[in-house]
Amino acid sequence: MTAMSDDCIFCSIVAGELPSHTVYETEDTLAFLDANPLAPGHVLVIPKAHHERLDDLPEELAGTVLETLYQLVSPVETAVEADGTTVAFNNGPAAGQEVPHVHGHIIPRFDDDDGGP
């Protein structure tokens, strides 16, 4: 399903109906700060179209989402002076996916953090 989903918080963010802190935007993707960050600078990257899981995405859009993640890793790391990043998708409730609109996490990591997610 690609139309906006009325009860999806990430679709509401794309539509500008819910506030978010946008860090980067392309024609088909949006990157914004996570509201409950696991580390400073924790960013979420989503396709603007509503799809639940990574494997629901048309292949070309999956490539576009991954390209946006790729573009952001280094700037995010630099912005918060991180030592590394964890880049991940929780795919399905069993994996801890709470928001059913596919999103990639960029989580800054620090040498002295606790091992993280």
End-to-end CA distance of the chain: 30
Question: Strand, coil or helix: what is 80?
Answer: coil
Q: Would you say 116 and 88 are in contact if contact means Cβ atoms under 8 Å apart?
A: no
Fill in the DSSP letter of residue 8: -
As beta bridge partners, residue 110 has none
Q: Would you say 101 and 18 are in contact if contact means Cβ atoms under 8 Å apart?
A: no
Binding ligand 5GP (rule: CB under 6 A), the pick from 32, 45, 47, 102 is: 32
Q: Measured from the CB of residue 61, what is the shortest distance to Zn ion in angstroms?
A: 13
CA distance 110 to 80: 10
> Residues 50-69 vs ligand 5GP: string with x where CB under 6 A?
--------------------
> Which range in 28-36, 50-58, 65-73, 77-85 contacts ligand 5GP by CB under 6 A?
28-36
Q: Which does 36 bind (CB under 5 to 8 A by kind): ligand 5GP, Zn ion, none?
A: ligand 5GP
29 binds ligand 5GP (CB under 6 A): no
Torsion from C-alpha of 80, 66, 37, 73, nearest 10 degrees:
-10
Q: Measured from the CB of residue 32, what is the shortest distance to ligand 5GP in angstroms?
A: 5
Binding ligand 5GP (rule: CB under 6 A), the pick from 40, 58, 92, 96 is: 96
Q: Measured from the CB of residue 117, what is the shortest distance to Zn ion in angstroms?
A: 22
Is 42 an annotated catalytic residue?
no
Active site residues: 103
